[in-house]
A and B are shown apart, each in its own frame.
Chain A
Amino acid sequence: MKAPRFAYEKPQSLDAAIRLLADGGDGAKLIAGGQSLGPILNFRLAQPELLIDIRTLPELRTVRDEGDAVFLGAGTTHAAIEDGRVCDPTRGLLSAVARTIAYRAVRNRGTLGGSLAHADPAADWVNLMALLDAEIVARGPSGERRLHAAAFVRGPLTTDLAADEIITGVSVRKLSGRARWGQYKFNRKPGEFAEAIGGFVHDPELGMARALVGAIGDAPYVVADAMRLDEPAMHDAVSRAGFADGTYEHQIHFAALKRATAQARGA
């Protein structure tokens, strides 16, 4: 199928993009890498009147040190993270996850901000940023706000973002040398969307111990105090994430969480 007719603008600055977005109202839609929106347009599931192309905006390509965190511009591609072309404050977790996103062709164009804004419940960054307690930075006509990643996603394909806001980047805390992490993505074959994502991060210096039950068809489920996460607690977390014991979904999410935790603990 082919996309319906739409107008196309490629603004030269972030401010211009925000103005176009605000002026365009419900009929305007941002496009960056287009790896989700492209197929959605072709299926005619979205029929915007105006596409605003922000893929090459320099403001969205910035990466800067914020002291205890690193700010990654929304236009950073998955491939740039995978290849270590941008700083990874998590000591390898970001690039390990980037490597498993779809296929290289998708990673070459797909962006961090685009994936977060699209908020597919099975998408990797949506889940990982919630696990890492990262902050999503958004800008609109009235200025900039910082949103907790764990609360940013409200449901499938739904975020806290206002219609005239653009994600400019993500602020990810720097993990210490003592930090340990684990992540397990369960999918039918490499490159496919996750059926389950388990995650675990423990950083004694930051006092951080978080666990993730991800790709649950909804906003990710995070255990914020996962210091003593044993198997019964994992079952409990998966049940609270919405999957009753004894179901297929419970089993795969439990296994993913167990494997992520084991990886972090070096088991």
Chain B
Amino acid sequence: MTQSARKGVGARLRRKEDERFLRGRGDYVGNIRMVGMLDVAFVRSPVAHARIRAVRKSPGLESVVFTIDDLTGVKPIVANSALKGFKSAPQHVLARDKVRQVGELIAMCVAPSRAEAEDIATQVELDLEELPAVVDMVAAIEPGGPRVHEEWSDNVVLETLVDDDLSTIRANAAIKVQRRIRTARQCMSPMEGRGVVAHYDRRLDQLTVHSAAQMPHINRAGLSECLGIDQGRIRVVAPDVGGGFGYKGILLPEEVCLGWLAMMLGRPVRWLEDRFEQLAANANCREHYYDITGYATADGRLLAIDCEAIVDSGAYSSYPFSACLEAAQVSSILPGPYRMDGYRCRTWSAATNKPPILPYRGVARTGVCFALELVVDAIARAAGKEPYEVRLACLVPPEAMPFVNITKKFFDSGDYPEALRRAVRVLDLPKWRERQKRGEPDGRRVGVGLAIFCEQGAHGTSVYHGWGIPMVPGHEQCTARLSPDGVLELRIGAHSHGQGLETTLAQVAHEILGVDPDNVRLIHGDTALTPYSTGTWGSRCMVMSGGAVATACKEIEKRVRAIAGKLMEVAGDDLVLEAGRVRVAGTDRSMSLAEVAHVWYRAPQLLPADVDPAGLETTAGYKAVRDSGTFSYACHACAVAVDTELGTIEILDYVVVEDGGTLVNPMIVDGQVFGGTAQGIGTALYEEMPFDAQGQPLASTLADYMLPGATEVPTIRIEHIETPSPLSYFGQKGIGEGGAIAPPAAITNAVNDALADLGVEMLESPITPRRLLTALAAARARRGAG
């Protein structure tokens, strides 16, 4: 085995960053201490929808309480889409005139400690005229009801339509299944909440905002727009970040508020989100409704999908992804990994008096996969076939790759049927069918479920510019510097907060330069130190930052060869870079990278006069061969036991067969799949933020908002297929989100398999005991009546 195989692309290298994380030595926003730092507590709206008559500061507290009237010159957050018909919902960073969700910021209180700031907050008097709340997205888009934004004609942020004439298919399809499917609103729950420390540097005339952010350069752009100061005067630093998942891929009104406050006071200010704020004000994802019909032949081959979908987009349009990204995506990705003859999809982004929607790991795909895969299983039951059989009949086959699907997505590579076949084999379907027939000794019912999806990652300009949102990804850059002691510094504009980029990008550098990963330092998360990037989102970093690092290292390699070639008096092409050394091929003559760097920086007199002065530092850009994105894919297969007395579900076995193309670090990919699948299990069985009819969120602690923990996540068995992407540098594909996409569909299909002969079909996530027992009771009543 070569050195590269052990530490480079493909190695199961232990994560470098875990040294500090596992020892509790990470440095997060909450660890920052600054002399004279003040704490901020916000007064938030206690109601979902109201007109603000007055916000009264108690006498004596005027100088430590701030409302929107105090924030002169601060502009609202605007995240518009250029799609036709999009309705704009500018968000004032502190409410002006109206509040439109529980938890909306109304006033900012500042004190030496958070507790004292909260004391002040309790003394701010709100005079609110409550208005009827828009809570249910299906009712929201009906005409005539109350409106979230009175100046709008309705509550529809955006309507999209992908139309196709399905009349022939409708007339001839032997099987037609129509389902109404819902997914609950969730609250992304990274271990670390959001947090901001802002201070103003008079020497640099610069506002520094430390924020737990996934996309620091985007936050900087947004801060500049809202605060009205140029980007050069703003530095955003994202230190260690304890999980993102999309929750931190947003310009926060809190960031704008604290930025303004730090400049106004001339003192450092801090706000750390607590779990109550997170849950009560920020349940912001996953709430979809589908009225979906699948048409198939008598033997279950999928012919067409006809769908009307609503995404609950909440009260505002979050920056930069906007209020319509998710619904707009639904229509483009609903066909999944399948071939079909016809497709029609109409979507609505519905404004409601709830927190603005954010893209959560998997973005729209978790809901889309849930809706589509439940319908495919219903088709299989109608056809009397095993669910995997009907899928095999319509998955895009490997010989058709690359494949342009019915919504013009370019599937770059892969063997979808093999992922399905292998998942069925690894799960051992016949074993479970046998056990199911035998019955469980404890009376529980066993079921088996599947879900398969493909996931576009690292998609770029051509995909995004059409949406016309404030952010369009382009090229990705890396700055690489071989420092005088031979340590390689890499600077990227994306951020690593769980992805392990400090390790995987070092592996990429090792692959090209032979530098030991221990001698590679990744610098990220600071707009002052890194090249511009849209940041970490959309499963893009391994493809885009990885490509940029590889490209920059290739350039460094060229220069190392030139310098070392001069020093060893051979042609650069005759040199081999490995194990941190530059060796003359076929000889044992070599020098270390450190020696080459030493000469360049500290003993240039040894170099000939005509040496290229570009040096051992470079910024290089990368763009994929085409920017339509890599398509990773996976099949999830599971077996569950359903307790029909208590409505509980135990996952007995869980298998993931996935294809992330060339895996830079298979162990880290496994970790991504485990983590994503755990979150998907949360979506399937536990996580839900219910709202009452007045728009009050009903879960305010983690005792009410239930997250899966160690006891809820089974052993997940992962198998990899490695079909290199023809589009990326090493053939790698974006894989970060996939784990979170399929579990709700796979688990629900397994539950429905277990309960099919009782006439129960679950169509809503999460499957709580209450929902399950209610469905069982309803089915019993139907059987009794029948």
| Residues of A in contact with B (beta carbons under 8 Å apart) | 1-5, 39, 43-44, 186, 188-193, 195, 246, 248, 251-252, 255, 258
Q: Which residues from chain B contact A195 at a C-beta distance below 8 Å?
A: 769
Q: A4-B119, A5-B119, A189-B686 are in contact. Are A255 and B777 (CB under 8 A)?
A: no
Asked if B712 is at the interface (CB within 8 A of a chain A CB), the reply is yes
Contact between chains at B646 and A186 (CB < 8 Å): yes
A96 CB to closest chain B CB, in angstroms?
Answer: 17
Q: How far is the CA of A221 from the CA of B113 in the complex (A)?
A: 46
Contact of B115 (CB < 8 Å), options: A3, A191, A192, A251: A3
Q: A188-B686, A190-B711, A252-B773 are in contact. Are A5 and B646 (CB under 8 A)?
A: no
Contact between chains at A189 and B119 (CB < 8 Å): no
Contact between chains at A189 and B703 (CB < 8 Å): no
Q: How far is the CA of A189 from the CA of B709 in the complex (A)?
A: 8
Contact between chains at B274 and A1 (CB < 8 Å): yes
Asked if B233 is at the interface (CB within 8 A of a chain A CB), the reply is no
Q: Mark B764-778, 1 if CB is under 8 A from A, else 0.
A: 000011100110010
Q: How far is the CA of A187 from the CA of B118 in the complex (A)?
A: 34
Contact between chains at B686 and A192 (CB < 8 Å): no
Q: Which residues from chain A contact B774 at a C-beta distance below 8 Å?
A: 248
Contact of B703 (CB < 8 Å), options: A44, A193, A248, A252: A193
Contact between chains at A39 and B773 (CB < 8 Å): no
Contact of B701 (CB < 8 Å), options: A39, A188, A246, A258: A39
- Contact residues of B between 750 and 786, Cβ < 8 Å to A: 768-770, 773-774, 777
Q: How far is the CA of A255 from the CA of B444 in the complex (A)?
A: 13
Contact between chains at A4 and B115 (CB < 8 Å): yes
Contact between chains at A1 and B711 (CB < 8 Å): no
Q: How far is the CA of A252 from the CA of B648 in the complex (A)?
A: 11
- Give me 28 A-to-B residue pairs in the complex whose CB atoms sit less than 8 angstroms apart, sorted by A's number: A1-B274, A2-B113, A2-B114, A2-B118, A4-B115, A5-B115, A5-B119, A39-B701, A43-B276, A44-B118, A44-B122, A188-B768, A189-B706, A189-B708, A189-B711, A192-B706, A193-B703, A195-B769, A246-B777, A248-B773, A251-B645, A251-B773, A251-B777, A252-B646, A252-B647, A252-B773, A255-B645, A255-B646
Q: Which residues from chain A contact B276 at a C-beta distance below 8 Å?
A: 1, 43
Q: Which residue of B lies closest to A251 (CB)?
A: B773
Q: How far is the CA of A240 from the CA of B643 in the complex (A)?
A: 25
- Contact residues of B between 658 and 702, Cβ < 8 Å to A: 686, 701
Question: In this complex, which of B703, B768, B774 has the most chain A Cβ atoms within 10 angstroms of its Cβ?
Answer: B703
Q: Which residues from chain B contact A191 at a C-beta distance below 8 Å?
A: 709, 711
Q: What 10 A-B pairs have minimum CB-CB distances, sorted nearest first?
A: A2-B115, A255-B645, A190-B711, A248-B770, A2-B114, A255-B646, A248-B773, A251-B773, A189-B712, A188-B706
Q: Which residues from chain A contact B769 at a C-beta distance below 8 Å?
A: 188, 195, 248, 252
Q: Which residues from chain A contact B711 at a C-beta distance below 8 Å?
A: 189-191
Q: Which residue of A lies closest to B706 (CB)?
A: A188
- Contact residues of B between 97 and 131, Cβ < 8 Å to A: 113-115, 118-119, 122
Q: Which residues from chain B contact A246 at a C-beta distance below 8 Å?
A: 777
Q: Which residues from chain A contact B645 at a C-beta distance below 8 Å?
A: 251, 255, 258
Given contact pairs A188-B686, A188-B706, A189-B709, a sample of 7 additional A-B residue pairs in the complex whose CB atoms are under 8 Å apart: A1-B118, A2-B115, A39-B701, A192-B706, A248-B770, A248-B773, A252-B769
A179 CB to closest chain B CB, in angstroms?
Answer: 25
Question: In this complex, which of A39, A248, A258 has the most chain B Cβ atoms within 10 angstroms of its Cβ?
Answer: A248
Q: Which residues from chain A contact B114 at a C-beta distance below 8 Å?
A: 2
Q: Which residues from chain B contact A192 at a C-beta distance below 8 Å?
A: 703, 706
A250 CB to closest chain B CB, in angstroms?
Answer: 10
Q: Which residues from chain A contact B686 at a C-beta distance below 8 Å?
A: 188-189
Q: Which residues from chain B contact A3 at a C-beta distance below 8 Å?
A: 115
A7 CB to closest chain B CB, in angstroms?
Answer: 15
- Contact residues of B between 255 and 295, Cβ < 8 Å to A: 274, 276
A183 CB to closest chain B CB, in angstroms?
Answer: 15
Q: How far is the CA of A5 from the CA of B709 in the complex (A)?
A: 34
A33 CB to closest chain B CB, in angstroms?
Answer: 17
Q: How far is the CA of A194 from the CA of B703 in the complex (A)?
A: 11
Q: How far is the CA of A193 from the CA of B704 in the complex (A)?
A: 10
- Contact residues of B between 472 and 525, Cβ < 8 Å to A: none
Q: How far is the CA of A56 from the CA of B568 in the complex (A)?
A: 75
B646 CB to closest chain A CB, in angstroms?
Answer: 5
Q: How far is the CA of A111 from the CA of B768 in the complex (A)?
A: 31
Question: In this complex, which of B118, B701, B712 has the most chain A Cβ atoms within 10 angstroms of its Cβ?
Answer: B118
Q: How far is the CA of A258 from the CA of B770 in the complex (A)?
A: 19
Q: How far is the CA of A193 from the CA of B115 in the complex (A)?
A: 28
Q: How far is the CA of A233 from the CA of B362 in the complex (A)?
A: 50
Q: Which residues from chain B contact A248 at a C-beta distance below 8 Å?
A: 769-770, 773-774
A49 CB to closest chain B CB, in angstroms?
Answer: 14
Q: Which residues from chain B contact A190 at a C-beta distance below 8 Å?
A: 711
A243 CB to closest chain B CB, in angstroms?
Answer: 13
Q: Which residues from chain A contact B113 at a C-beta distance below 8 Å?
A: 2
B514 CB to closest chain A CB, in angstroms?
Answer: 47
B112 CB to closest chain A CB, in angstroms?
Answer: 12
Q: Which residue of A lies closest to B117 (CB)?
A: A2
Q: Which residues from chain B contact A44 at a C-beta distance below 8 Å?
A: 118, 122
Q: How far is the CA of A44 from the CA of B118 in the complex (A)?
A: 10
Question: In this complex, which of B114, B115, B276 has the most chain A Cβ atoms within 10 angstroms of its Cβ?
Answer: B115
Q: Which residues from chain A contact B274 at a C-beta distance below 8 Å?
A: 1
Q: Which residues from chain A contact B712 at a C-beta distance below 8 Å?
A: 189
Q: How far is the CA of A2 from the CA of B700 in the complex (A)?
A: 15
Q: How far is the CA of A252 from the CA of B769 in the complex (A)?
A: 9
B269 CB to closest chain A CB, in angstroms?
Answer: 16
B526 CB to closest chain A CB, in angstroms?
Answer: 30
Q: Which residues from chain A contact B703 at a C-beta distance below 8 Å?
A: 192-193
Q: How far is the CA of A188 from the CA of B645 in the complex (A)?
A: 14
Q: How far is the CA of A39 from the CA of B115 in the complex (A)?
A: 14
B644 CB to closest chain A CB, in angstroms?
Answer: 10
Q: Which residue of A lies closest to B119 (CB)?
A: A4
A69 CB to closest chain B CB, in angstroms?
Answer: 34
Q: Which residue of A lies closest to B781 (CB)?
A: A246
Q: How far is the CA of A248 from the CA of B276 in the complex (A)?
A: 29
Q: How far is the CA of A252 from the CA of B772 in the complex (A)?
A: 12
Question: In this complex, which of B645, B647, B708 has the most chain A Cβ atoms within 10 angstroms of its Cβ?
Answer: B645
Q: Which residues from chain A contact B777 at a C-beta distance below 8 Å?
A: 246, 251
- Contact residues of B between 134 and 192, Cβ < 8 Å to A: none
Question: In this complex, which of A1, A3, A5 has the most chain B Cβ atoms within 10 angstroms of its Cβ?
Answer: A1
Q: Which residue of B lies closest to A190 (CB)?
A: B711
Q: Which residues from chain B contact A4 at a C-beta distance below 8 Å?
A: 115, 118-119
Q: How far is the CA of A206 from the CA of B706 in the complex (A)?
A: 42
Question: In this complex, which of A39, A186, A189, A258 has the most chain B Cβ atoms within 10 angstroms of its Cβ?
Answer: A189
Q: How far is the CA of A1 from the CA of B686 in the complex (A)?
A: 25
Q: Which residues from chain B contact A188 at a C-beta distance below 8 Å?
A: 686, 706, 768-769
Q: Which residues from chain B contact A2 at a C-beta distance below 8 Å?
A: 113-115, 118
Q: How far is the CA of A191 from the CA of B115 in the complex (A)?
A: 29
Q: How far is the CA of A251 from the CA of B276 in the complex (A)?
A: 32
Q: Which residue of B lies closest to A188 (CB)?
A: B706
Q: How far is the CA of A258 from the CA of B442 in the complex (A)?
A: 14
- Contact residues of B between 703 and 750, Cβ < 8 Å to A: 703, 706, 708-709, 711-712
Q: Mark B189-230, 1 if CB is under 8 A from A, else 0.
A: 000000000000000000000000000000000000000000
Q: How far is the CA of A4 from the CA of B119 in the complex (A)?
A: 7
Q: Which residue of B lies closest to A189 (CB)?
A: B712
Q: Which residues from chain B contact A251 at a C-beta distance below 8 Å?
A: 645-647, 773, 777
A217 CB to closest chain B CB, in angstroms?
Answer: 15
A261 CB to closest chain B CB, in angstroms?
Answer: 13
Q: How far is the CA of A195 from the CA of B701 in the complex (A)?
A: 16
Q: Which residues from chain A contact B773 at a C-beta distance below 8 Å?
A: 248, 251-252
Q: How far is the CA of A248 from the CA of B773 in the complex (A)?
A: 7
Q: How far is the CA of A120 from the CA of B96 in the complex (A)?
A: 41
Q: Which residue of A lies closest to B686 (CB)?
A: A188
Q: Which residues from chain B contact A39 at a C-beta distance below 8 Å?
A: 701
